[in-house]
Each structure stands twice: as structure tokens, then as C-alpha cells.
A and B are shown apart, each in its own frame.
Chain A
Amino acid sequence: MKKAIVLYMHVHQPYRVRNYTIFDAGVNHEYFDAPYEHGTSNERIMHKVAEKSYLPTNRRLLKLLRAYPEFKLSLSITGTVIEQMEAWAPEALQSFVELTKTGRVEIVGETYHHSLAFFYSRREFEAQVKEHEKKVKEIFGQTPKVFRNTELAYNNDVAYWADKAGYKAILAEGWDAVLDWRNPNHVYRPSYTEKIKLLLKNYRLSDDIAFRFSNRSWAGWPLTADKFTHWLDESSDATNFNLFMDYETFGEHQWDDTGIFEFLEHLPKEWIKHKGHTFMTVSEVADAFDPADSLDIPNTVTWADTERDLSAWLGNGMQTSAIAALYNLEEKILDTKDEKLIEDWRKLQASDHFYYMCTKWFNDGDIHAYFSPYENPYDAFIAFMNAYHDLRFRLAQMGVAL
């Protein structure tokens, strides 16, 4: 019996809005060009992430791909992070291209702008998926065959759409509430679909690496590749272990000195020691196994927080009013056919902007758990809305009725 590790990592950086004031609105139409020394400087963050995470991780991944023919992985890379690497860290982008040249790194499809457009405008959503597909083809020479929605936001409708769009598989969170008695270590079939397979993140094992790895009060600490593969071995009811995580886990969320890179370097060797153990990309695992069961998931699940819903992005009035205001401009913006205006509007759709407005943790006083370039969620909202007002100003200047 074959058992595969399905390692999938998500690479993304948004265009953060600088401290854009009402006095900028109508005067300066650049929202994303914070001075280099500011916390919202996208260029600076890209330099930092490339140096701490992308370059050292890819160096090791390439080494592993060369050393172990069984080693494979999948990546999703948003359009906005590709653009930022093109502009500020071309060597990092090149290192991703090197990985895909091995033929054992699969690129997963998603929205170009890391948006929640699926829930607001199907037309806009499809345009962004197309745009991403084009960019991936151009940079990596692949056409995505597996789909993930932003933040792994998933429900029956997303699956139905992806099935009709011809994807082999779709990714989602393997949350207990949707799995019920099942485990995430099999391939599933979304209800109401015919061909597509559903791959569910094993959040316990994934989070052991992504979140708990450096936690000294965790019983599993210190986590070694040997110990980890031993845990996997103990699960007999399994065909595939879906380890899904943010790429920045390596070097950014878990720093070099935690030993995360050593863990990564030893994982393939420890895993393939045993007969029948292998690695698969997301479309390989979809091809390899039949669905164990079908899953009916009417309510949206995501990969965030204990709620596993959209409340980190759309949980308060600021978030919902900001996103509604933005999508209300859709027709007017698209009708202008003004590329710069449309692009700025799309950059503002990144889910990250709404995440920065989240007050869930802020109210608990646990602001350190709150990863944002802004001092607080209110400042994030104000800067975003001022940019929104400037979009309106630009429309008015073009003679569009508001």
C-alpha cells in the first residue's frame, strides 16, 4: 500500500496600502508606494522575505529535488507576489523557476490578486483566475490543473465551479466539523460534482510544522524529521498526508535558528526510508486514488482561526463595509477600460487588506498575535477607505456618474 506526503505551500505578498490620507485623495493616486523605511513598504518587506525565506528555502528545496527523485511538492504563487519579485527580488523569482524546471513542482491555480472575489462577483473572480493562469504559464510554463481559493475558502459552490472549469482537484481545510468521523488522509469527492477530487489539509500535522515547531512548551518539541515521519507511520488508515501551509513558514514564521531548515532537509530521507512511502504533487494524488467518500459542505470553511470561517476577513462592520464599497465600484471601474485604475482596484481586493481590519484579537489585547503593518485595525480601515475615495475621485475625473 502506497502512502504519500502531499506538501503544498502558499506563496503570497499583497500590495499594502501606505498611510494614505484624505489629503492624498484627489491629489496623489499612488496607494502602495510607502517610503522604504515605513512598515507598509512593500519593497522592503519583499527584500526581507526573499532574504529570510524564499532564497534559503528554495536553495534547500532544489538540493532535495536533486538528491531524491521521489521528492515532490506543490506551490501556489499569487500574481501579486510574482510581480513584486519581478520588481524587487528577481533572483527569488528565478529560484522558484529553477524548482519548477525539475518537473516535480506543480503550480496550483488561484486568483491573481489573492481576492475574495468568488463571494462578491463571479465575473471578476473568473477574470482574476484567468489572469493568474496566464501569468503562471508565462513564468513557469505550466497550466494549473488543481485549484485553491484564497484563504482555502471553500464550499459546495466553489467546488461546483472548479469542477465545471475543468480542474482535477480542489484544496480545502480538513476541519473536523466538515469531516465528521472521517480523516483527511484520503481523497474525497465534493457533493454535486462529477469529476473533481477534494484534497483536505491535515491541519494537525501541518500546524505541527507551521505553528508549533518552535513552541518549547509543546509536548512534541523538539520536532525532528524522524519523529514526525514516525507519527505519520502510525496512521494506518491513510493514503495521503496533506501538509498544507504558508511558504513563509520556512525562515519567516519559523526562523532559521529554530531548526526548521534542518527539519525540511531531513524529511524526505526519513520518509522514503520505508517501502511504499513517497511524495506526490496535488494532481498526482488526485489521479492516484479514488474518492473515499463524498463531502457536502454548504457553509464556507477557511484555513484561519479556530472558527475556520471568513470571520477573520469579513467578521466586523469595517471589513464588510469596506469590501462592499469596493465591489460596488466594479462596473464603473471596468467600464472605464483604464488599465491602471482597474489594476489599483484589483490590488485593493487582496484579502489581506480586510485581515488587517480584523478586531478579533485586538480586542483580546493580544496584539502581538496580530500580524499587520498597521498600528491597529482602525488605521488600516482609514487608509483603505481613503484609497477607495480616491478611486471615486478618478472615476469622477473621467466623467463617470457616481
Chain B
Amino acid sequence: MPRVVMKGAAIKRALVRIATEIKKRNKSIEDLVLIGIKRRGQTLAQRLAKILADGKKSIPVGAIDITLYRDDLQLIAETPIVRGSEINFDINNKVVILVDDVLFTGRTVRAALTEILDFGRPKSIQLAVLVDRGHRELPIAADYIGKRIKTEKTDLVDIFVFEEDGKEGVFVSKCPNQTKRDEI
């Protein structure tokens, strides 16, 4: 049985808190742009942008698909699907808030950082994640964390958002077949 770690209301509260921390640290939202890692990160970035803008000025939101930047392309049996990146604004000298749902090994974030730098040279990049589940394999840390959770390395952490899945919540379950994991 999957263990419920966050429900809809908790996700909402976490995003509001992250937004407050972003505002506190960056003083102005003028230079902010948000980039979500596909697909759940994109949804979370859009929500975060709405909270940050607070009905006033809108904040640019982009999305990246890190498939072409993965460090394990040689190891995967089948060519992974490429979903495409959409960053339709200038990121030079901006403060980029990189948004993802789960921070795990850090490899996805590494790939995302490399890709973002191919789009320009931002003033800084800060990382916001809904859940930090530990087990880092690269020296990467998040600036804003919705919730830290304790997991086994083989556990599955599933995040559902209404926009993509029709339901909302964060769940942890035991991996049925530990050797079949190919996520990063």
C-alpha cells in the first residue's frame, strides 16, 4: 500500500511557503523567471508563478525536457521520448527558479542546469522542489524545499497533480521489482 506523504492541501501550503521564501530572498520579483522540469515540475512552476505574481505582473514560465541531456542515454534500452523544451523568453541576467517535483539523485537537476546554460547566462539559478527524498549522487542541494521525506533508495515516490493526473498527492511505495528502475 502506498504511504500518503502529502495531500492536496499540504502541497498548496508548501507552494505558498516556497513563494514567500523566494520573495524574501530575492527582494523583487522583477528579474524572476520560472522553469519547470517536465512534466510535473512544469505544472508546479505554473502554480508557483501564479502565487508569486499575486494577480499583478505575470512571471514568465518555461519548461524543459532533459531527455537529450541525460547522462545515461547509453545505458537505456530504448530511445527515450523527447518532449521538447519551451523557454520563449530571454534568460540572460535573470534569476531562474528551477522547479521540480522530487529531488532524488540530483542527476536530473544536473542535466537541467546544463541545458539552461545553453539558453543563456542567467544571473543565478535557484532550485525549488516539492519533495526532497535524499539519496543524492551528485553535490546538489535545493534552495527551497516543500517537504523532506525519509525513503529507502529503492522506494517509488509518486507525485500526482490535478492538471496532469486528475488527482493530487504525494505517495511513497515499495518498488515491486528493484532491478527494473531506470529513473534518474
Note whether A and B form a binding pair. no
Report which B residues bind A (CB closer than 8 A): none
